[in-house]
Amino acid sequence: MKRILLFLMVSAAVLAQNKGRVERNVDQLLASGTVFQQQNLISSHDNDTRNTAQVSGATVLSINFEAVQSLLTSQPEFIRISLPYQNQILELNLYKVEIKSADCEVLTPQGSFENLLQSAHYRGTVSGLNRSLVSLNIYPNQINGVVATESLGNLNLGKLKNNISAFSHILYSDFNLKKSNTFNCAVLEKPTELAAETNAVATTSRCVTNYYEIDHAIYLENNSSEAETTAWMESLFNNVQTIFDNDEVNTALKSIFIWTTPDVYSGESSAEYLYAFNTFRPTFNGDVGMLLGIDEGALGGVAATINGLCNEQNFSYSDVDLFFEDLPLYSWPVNVVTHELGHLFGSQHTHGCYWNGNDTPIDGCGTTFSEFFAEGDCEFGALPEPGVGGTIMSYCHILPEIGVNLINGFGPQPAARMQTAINNSACLSTDCINTCITLVSNLVANNVTDTTASFTWNDEIPETNYEISAGIFPFPEDQMNFIPLTGQQAAIGSLIPNTFYRFFVRPDCPENVTGSAASVLFATAANWCESPIVITDTGGSIGEYQDNERWVRQIIPTTFDSAIKINFTDFYLEENYDFLTIYNGIYPGPDATLIGQFTGFDVPEMVTSTAANGALTLEFFSDGFISDLGFTAEVSCLTLGVSENQYIDLQYYPNPTTDVLTVRASIDIQKIEIYSMDGRKVIDQQNSGSMLQVNTAALAQGSYIAKIIGTDVQTNFKFVKR
């Protein structure tokens, strides 16, 4: 039905919040008599307010770099800075903060980078104002930060691009920028079990570590300097962390990766960059990770899911700008980064139908701009008053007369969602120090039969002890029974044929921390050639598949001289976003070829294998958004007639074998190739004569396919290694 827009305005009294943690910290320090040392770092010409083609009402500033160096040497805990802006002086009361975890690392394609710029990071408030929030970053060559107040909005302080004059810095309000903030978020909002949560808890008892990957364009914008790029990232993070801190959410900077060489990412949408990031960097050293880039098209940002904590959807992407012409930008990148992290921490958009205990919106900024942004079936929300501004999870930035004021933070309800999600996430440490981050990658299901499967994986930091579990999919991870395991391989049995399972592995973590699990989704085999067998997606014949599914299913004939045939009867995939790809043969494998990729609602035609092994492989992918009913198909075997093996009098024994396999034929056998059931070539042996022997002792137990190659003849047989 058509929704009704409520043109009521959210009053300042409705949106107003109690003071946040940073503000209270300063109040308590002042009340206890703490002395904030005056630092004369910044000055300006009298009434030096400038209007340019990029911004109006800006104040150009000069930095006393001798005083800056003195501060960097002494590193005072509490400072007071006089900041000129237009016709007034803002007195900043600031306390020193540590933004990074104790083991924070900076990496490049060449390895670790340790030659960082000397720095000091502060946060605090503006003296004499009811509500204000300040984050300040001091380096030998610059000072930057954000000052957010109710009356002045978001003030950006930073160094003008390529400016080496005495007045190289500028202070301006983003409300006065002569450019629209077009940031949009592509995450799809979904209901959550926390829908009734409306009041923030006291604080988060756990801490979220952050990983950031910085693309090559940002590195170039920072003068192709690892040190300056790291300083930019540290500054951005202090600004981001300050907002989370004020809303009682604990975070720390854990790891930075800088592309000092051309990066591997490309795309035309934020979602393409998101999944490219996940494909190239499936694991990273942090509880959540984000790819940051300067990309064409004002792509905005996207998070993989709502609440990506302690699961494999813990990643996001943000398209940011460092400058508008020569103006440094800080509040806008802060907005997009905090917004996408807000999703990963558990919050939806404030214009969606998720709030107030009755599934109504907090505000109507997104839906006022466009009905396209509607999320759920409820009346559109009210607008904040001009001058009050929206919150981080809103779309109020796209309404120039409203905007987002960072002093509003996330607001009580989104903050409560995040706090609850974080406190309920057992993989998070309590201090961002004693972490247990899962770095398992390349988790693969091998030798999958109708009742057994084996698994191998890699680990960036090899662990001795892991915990593993498996269950029929779908099955909630929190209900899994994990058992201890030593080493990086495992095997399971007693499985049900033609059934989807999910296998989990996680590190064995210290007390009070439960590692997040890496997982692989797989389907067991069946006796395909005995009688036709129905296969479906993971949702079965009547349910839907799930978001973010990725699986490969190799369907191999169970009798010799047969070929797999698949006849689809139903097919419903989200068009152009979810895909079923079919390969001729065993994929991944050297001889597999692409038959086709299918999406949408057109039922594929019947597919029959023409591969030598008679196999077909299905590869399924669903994105993080809309799912559908999936597919239903019937699998059977096509008998190929008289076996080639009979014409060449092929014999092979013993089968099963434990070590040496002997092969005889009436032809000259030139070569034997042996493949595992997942298509990997494990033996390639040349030969001359009608008999060969191959040593299989090093092979793992399971079924294998042998390919015999002779003059103008090629045939296959299946054997079992015990």
- Tens of pLDDT, residue by residue over 79-111, are 999 999 998 999 999 999 999 998 999 999 999
* Phi, psi angles (nearest 5°) of residue 153: 75, -145
Q: Which domains does the chain have, with CATH numbers?
A: 33-176 (no CATH), 204-424 (3.40.390.10), 440-639 (2.60.120.290), 650-721 (2.60.40.1220)
Q: Quick one: pLDDT at residue 202?
A: 58
Classify residue 503 by burial, with Cβ atoms within 10 Å: 0-12, 13-18, 19+. Answer: buried
- Scored b (16 or more CB within 10 A) or e, 122-160 reads bbbbbbebebbbbbbbbbeebbbbbbbbbebbbbbbbbb
Q: State the DSSP code for 479.
A: G
Region 583-590 average pLDDT: 91
Strand partners of residue 360: 355
**Least trusted range by pLDDT, from 10-19, 262-271, 689-698:** 10-19
Residues 181-194: pLDDT tens digits?
A: 655 665 644 444 33
Amino acid at 379: E
Beta-sheet strand order (sheet of 660-664): 651-653, 660-664, 691-695
Amino acid at 444: V
Q: Quick one: pLDDT at residue 197?
A: 43
How far is Cα 339 from Cα 242, in angstroms, rounded to an integer? Answer: 14
Number of residues in the chain: 722
Place of tokens 């395909």: 528
How far is Cα 352 from Cα 3, in angstroms, rounded to an integer? Answer: 12
Q: Quick one: pLDDT at residue 624?
A: 76
Q: Quick one: pLDDT at residue 2?
A: 32
How far is Cα 501 from Cα 494, in angstroms, rounded to an integer? Answer: 12
Q: Quick one: pLDDT at residue 523?
A: 98
Residue in 154, 197, 395 with CA at minimum distance from that of residue 307: 197
How far is Cα 546 from Cα 265, in angstroms, rounded to an integer? Answer: 26
Q: Quick one: pLDDT at residue 46?
A: 60
Name the band, by pLDDT with cuts 50, 70 and 90, for residue 180: low
Name the band, by pLDDT with cuts 50, 70 and 90, for residue 713: confident
Q: Quick one: pLDDT at residue 677?
A: 66
Strand partners of residue 572: 630
Q: Kindly tell me the sign of the dihedral angle through the C-alpha atoms of 314, 210, 183, 123.
A: positive
**Which of 272-286, 291-305, 474-488 is most confident?**
272-286
How far is Cα 587 from Cα 590, in angstroms, rounded to an integer? Answer: 8
How far is Cα 546 from Cα 628, in angstroms, rounded to an integer? Answer: 8
Classify residue 475 by burial, with Cβ atoms within 10 Å: 0-12, 13-18, 19+. Answer: middle
Can you spell out the DSSP letters for 192-254? Answer: -TTTT--S--S--SSEEEEEEEE-HHHHHHTTT-HHHHHHHHHHHHHHHHHHHHHTT-EEEEE
Residues near 193 by Cβ (< 8 Å), separated by ≥ 6? none
Region 520-546 average pLDDT: 95
Q: State the DSSP code for 390.
A: B
- Element holding 15 (H helix, E strand): helix 12-15
Classify residue 292 by burial, with Cβ atoms within 10 Å: 0-12, 13-18, 19+. Answer: buried
How far is Cα 50 from Cα 170, in angstroms, rounded to an integer? Answer: 10
Angle at 192 between CA 189 and CA 196, to 5 degrees: 120
How far is Cα 720 from Cα 658, in angstroms, rounded to an integer? Answer: 9
Q: Average pLDDT over the chain, rounded to whole?
A: 89
**Least trusted range by pLDDT, from 96-100, 167-171, 630-634:** 167-171
Work out the end-to-end distance of the chain between its first and last CA atoms, rounded to an integer number of angstroms: 64
Residue 397, both tokens: 């930035």
Residues 314-364: pLDDT tens digits?
A: 999 999 989 887 888 888 899 999 999 999 999 999 999 999 999 999 999
Secondary structure (3-state) at 704: strand
Q: Quick one: pLDDT at residue 711?
A: 78
Q: Kindly tell me the sign of the dihedral angle through the C-alpha atoms of 265, 268, 269, 272.
A: negative
Residues 389-448: pLDDT tens digits?
A: 999 999 998 888 898 999 999 999 999 999 999 999 999 999 999 999 999 989 999 999
Residue 1 confidence (pLDDT) above 60: no
Can you spell out the DSSP letters for 598-651? Answer: E-SSPPPPPEE--STT--EEEEEE--SS----EEEEEEEEEE-SS-HHHHTT-E
Task: Identify the residue with better confidence: 414 or 9.
Answer: 414
Strand partners of residue 627: none
**Least trusted range by pLDDT, from 285-289, 460-464, 524-528:** 460-464
How far is Cα 369 from Cα 366, in angstroms, rounded to an integer? Answer: 5
Name the band, by pLDDT with cuts 50, 70 and 90, for residue 33: very high
**Least trusted range by pLDDT, from 153-167, 532-546, 574-588, 626-640:** 153-167
Task: Identify the residue with better confidence: 147 or 166.
Answer: 147
Q: Quick one: pLDDT at residue 13?
A: 40
How far is Cα 317 from Cα 271, in angstroms, rounded to an integer? Answer: 8
Task: Identify the residue with better confidence: 705 or 321.
Answer: 321
Q: Quick one: pLDDT at residue 456?
A: 95
**Least trusted range by pLDDT, from 135-139, 570-574, 698-702:** 698-702
Q: Quick one: pLDDT at residue 47?
A: 54
Residues 442-483: pLDDT tens digits?
A: 999 999 999 999 999 999 877 678 999 999 998 776 678 899
Q: What percent of the chain has pLDDT over 70?
A: 91
Task: Sort strands 301-303 and 288-293 into parallel, antiparallel or unpaired.
Answer: unpaired
Residue 613 confidence (pLDDT) above 90: no
Region 279-289 average pLDDT: 95
Q: What percent of the chain has pLDDT over 90?
A: 68
